[in-house]
Structure 1
Amino acid sequence: MVIADAPARAIVFFGDGLMEFVSPSHSHLHALAASGACGFLALRNLPSYMDNMSRSIFEMQQLLDVHDFGKAGIIETSSKNNVTTTALTPPSIAERFMGMKAAIITNSEPIANLGENLGFMLNNSKVGLHFSEPHVSNSVPQLASSAQVASELLELLGLGSQPLKESNNCELVLVHVTAGSGTDDAVARSCIDWIDSIVGEVKNLMQPGTKADDHLYLTLVFSYGVKAASDVSLNNLELHRQQVFDSLQTNLRVHCPQQSYKMKDGKLVIDVRDHHPMLVVHQMNGVTRRDHVSSLDFDDFLKNGCNLSILADRFLHELAFKLWKAPKYGA
C-alpha cells in the first residue's frame, strides 16, 4: 500500500549506450518495464564526429536539460570601452528544483564531473564503484556487489533500515553506467548485467509494508551507442513514420502539426531526430499507470507503451514533479 505521508524518492538507472545489448536473459529489466509506464525520450541529431564518450556527454546534457547552455557557450556583454565575456553557467539542481538533494553514481569520470558541476553529490564510494578506463576497450569494469549497491541506494534515499530524515537524505539518485568509448561487447554486457541484477535486488528489498515499497519511484533509461544511433537506415527504430506524412495529399501536409517532442518552450527544436530515442520506464506501486508493454524493447514500447515521446530535456522536470519538487508540465 502506498502511503502519501512523505514525498517519493527516486532511483534512475541509466544504461548509457547499452540498449542494443538488452537480451531476454535480463529478466529484472523486462519485469520492471512490464509493471510500469513506458515511453521514449527524443534526442537531437548526433554530430558525425562524436565517439561514444562525447555522445554520452551530449545526451546526458539533454537528459539533465543543460544542452542549451552548452550550445550557447558564452554571453557577451558590451559596454562603452570594452567587451566582457562571461561563462554561461546553468543553475544547480537544487536551485532549479526547490532545494532537491540529488546524488550521482557513475563509472564515467566525465559524467561525474558534469554531475558535480550541476550540484549532484558524487557517491561512488558508497557502493565501491570505480571509474572505467575511457580508452580501454577490453577491460571489464570493476562493479560492486549488486546486493550491496541496492542496500546502499535505499540508505542514501532514507528508505533503508534507518529512520527517514528529510534533511539528511537524497531525494534522487542517478545510477549511470556506460561501456565507455570501447567497442568490446563483453564490457557492455557486464554493465547491463550489473544494472539488471541491482534492479532485481532493489525489488527484493521492496517488501510490502517497507518504506521502499511505499515511497520508492523507479525509473529506467536506456540509450543507443554511437554506431547504432548514427545508422539512420534502421527505419524500424523510428518514432514518427515518414511514410504517414508522405501519404498525405500535398495540400494537407501544411496542416500536419509538429510532433510535441520537437517543441520546447513554445518553439520548434529543429535538430531532433526521429530515430533511436532513449527508452524510459516509470514505476511506482499504486501511482504510475501500467500499460501493455511486456519487455524492454523498442517495438514493444512503440506498439504498447502509454507515454509516447517527449523531448529528453523534459525528463528531469517530469521526475521532479513526481517528487513534489516542480509544477506539472504539460497534460
Structure 2
Amino acid sequence: MPRVRPRREICDCLDCADDSSRQVDPTLRSALARLEPPPKSFIIIIDGALIANPSGGNSLELAQLPHLDSLAREGCNGLLAATVGEHTPPLSCQILQGSAANAPPMPQRFKNIHVALVGNCSSLEAIGEGLGSHSTRVLPLNAPQKWPQTERLAKELTSCLGVQPLEEYVASFSLNKPLEDNESDMIILWMQLPEITHRQEEEEEDEASSEAIDQACVALEWTDLLLRSLDSIPGFRDTVLTTLVVTPPPPTPSLKTDGNSNIPTPRLLQHPLAQEQIELDVRTLNSGEKVVLHRPLQSYQFCGMKQVKVDTERSAVVVHRLPGIVRKDRVEELNVAAIEAKGGGRCILGERMLFEIAYKIDKAPKYGA
C-alpha cells in the first residue's frame, strides 16, 4: 500500500525538550569554538535513501522523522553535487575518497586524523584501507528492518568517540592527554540500502518502486531513532559535530517512473533564475536588442582550479549541527524544498565535504586545504 505523507509535528519527547537543564554555559561553548578542545566528528551517510515517489513527494516527506527535523532546525542544511564522467565513482564514494584515483589516505590529508569506518557496504574493508582508517567494522548488508539496534549502536559509537559532558571535555583539554588506542577523532557510519531486484512487467515494476520507497523510509526512520539515542547521551549534542548525508540511488533501469528510467531527485538548477542562461529584454541607449545573460559558474562546478561536470539531476542532502559552532539557517524540517529555498550551506562538491568538516575539528590548516 502506498505511503501517505504524514503530518509533521515537532517532537516533544524528553530527549528533545528545550528545558532549563539543557542550558549550556556560553564560556564552555566559546572554548569549543576556539578549538580548546576541538570537537569530534560523527558522519552518517544513508546511501540511496533519497527517492522520489512517482505519485508525489519523496522519502524525506513520507517518513516520520521528528529527530532529523530537529537536526535540520538546529543546523546548517545544504546540497552535495556529484561529478560525472567516465569511471566516476558514486556520490557516496566521492564523499569519502574523492573522484580522483589514488587519493592520499585521510591521516596524510588531515593532520594524522584517527578515523573509524562502520557500515554495511560489501567493499568497506578495501575503502577503509584506502582511507587509512584505524578501525573498520563491516555490518551485514541487510534490509533496513534488520539494521542494528539503535541504542546499543549509539553507546558503541559514543564510546569510540570518547564523548563526555561538555564541562568535563573542556576541563580535560588542559591535561593534554593523547587519544586512547580505541578512540577516534571521526566516525563515519555508511549504511547502504540493498538493491531492488529488476522487474520486467509493469505491475511488478510498480511494486518494486513501492518497495524502494518503503525501504528508504524505514532506513530514514532507523536513522531518526539512532539520532535520538545519540542525543540522549550526555555531551553528544555539545561536543560532536554531527553530519547527516542522504544520497539518491545510483542511476538504474530497474525502477520505472513516468517515461524516465531513473528515479527523479532534487535538481541543483531548479530555481527559475538558476538556469544555464537566461534571456532578458534590455533596452540599451542605442538599441532595443535582446541580451543573453550567462549564469556565472558556481563553486560546485570547480575542483580546485579545474572545472568539472556535475550531475544536476541527482544531488544529495547534507546537514551539519553543533550548537555554537555551526550556524543555524531558516530550515524548519528535513525537506528538500525547504533546503533549496532556505538552506545556509547552499551547494558544494561532495568530495569537498570532508575538507570542510576537517577544518571545523582542527584537522585542516584552513578551509579547503
Alignment TM-score > 0.5, same fold: yes
Q: 1:6 aligns with which of 37, 43, 48?
A: 37
**Is 1:220 matched up with 2:259?**
no
Cα deviation code 1:44-76 (max 9, x no counterpart): 2487xx9xxxx9x5222311243111xxxxxxx
Aligned residues: 290
Question: Which position in structure 1 is the counterpart of 2:354?
Answer: 316
Q: 1:199 to 1:112 in 2, by over 3 A?
A: farther
Return the offset for 1:299. 0.5
Structure index of larger Rg = 2
Alpha-carbon distance in 1 for matches of 2:135, 2:218: 22
Q: 1:182 aligns with which of 168, 191, 196?
A: 196
Cα deviation code 1:299-327 (max 9, x no counterpart): 11011111111111110100000110113
Give TM-score, length-normalised by structure 1. 0.77
Specify every segment of 5 or more residues in structure 1 that has no aligned partner in the other structure, as ranges.
70-88, 134-138
Is the 1:65–1:316 Cα contact (8 Å) retained in structure 2? no
Alpha-carbon distance in 2 for matches of 1:170, 1:317: 17
SS at match of 1:197: helix
Question: Which position in structure 2 is the counterpart of 1:261?
Answer: 300
Return the offset for 1:26. 1.5
Is the 1:178–1:191 Cα contact (8 Å) retained in structure 2? no
Question: Which position in structure 1 is the counterpart of 2:326?
Answer: 288
SS at match of 2:191: strand
Give TM-score, length-normalised by structure 2. 0.70
Q: 1:232 to 1:274 in 2, by over 3 A?
A: farther
Question: Which position in structure 2 is the counterpart of 1:239?
Answer: 268
Question: Which position in structure 2 is the counterpart of 1:91?
Answer: 104
**Is 1:38 matched up with 2:42?**
no
Cα deviation code 1:18-49 (max 9, x no counterpart): 022333412111110111000111112487xx
Is the 2:79–2:345 Cα contact (8 Å) retained in structure 1? yes
**Match runs of 1:296-311 below 5 Å:** 296-311=334-349
Return the offset for 1:238. 1.7
Is the 1:42–1:278 Cα contact (8 Å) retained in structure 2? yes
Q: 1:160 to 1:279 in 2, by over 3 A?
A: same
Alpha-carbon distance in 2 for matches of 1:242, 1:190: 30
Q: 1:224 to 1:235 in 2, by over 3 A?
A: closer
| Residue identity matched to 1:225 | P
Is the 2:45–2:92 Cα contact (8 Å) retained in structure 1? no
Alpha-carbon distance in 2 for matches of 1:225, 1:191: 13
| Residue identity matched to 1:215 | T
Is the 1:17–1:222 Cα contact (8 Å) retained in structure 2? yes
**Is 1:157 matched up with 2:195?**
no
SS at match of 1:103: strand
Question: Which position in structure 2 is the counterpart of 1:64?
Answer: 96
Q: 1:46 to 1:225 in 2, by over 3 A?
A: farther
**Is 1:25 matched up with 2:71?**
no
SS at match of 2:328: coil
Cα deviation code 1:180-209 (max 9, x no counterpart): 223543443433222111111111114xxx
SS at match of 1:132: coil
| Residue identity matched to 2:225 | S
Q: 1:251 to 1:233 in 2, by over 3 A?
A: farther
Alpha-carbon distance in 2 for matches of 1:228, 1:19: 14
Alpha-carbon distance in 2 for matches of 1:296, 1:220: 11
More contact order relative to length (CA 8 Å, sep ≥ 6): 1
Question: Which position in structure 2 is the counterpart of 1:82?
Answer: none
SS at match of 1:247: strand
SS at match of 1:64: helix
SS at match of 1:253: strand
Return the offset for 1:223. 0.7
Q: 2:141 aligns with which of 128, 132, 138?
A: 132
**Is 1:195 matched up with 2:223?**
yes
Cα deviation code 1:274-297 (max 9, x no counterpart): 222111101001111111111111
Backbone CA RMSD of aligned residues: 3.1
Cα deviation code 1:235-286 (max 9, x no counterpart): 88222248534432474435x32111101111211x2022221111010011
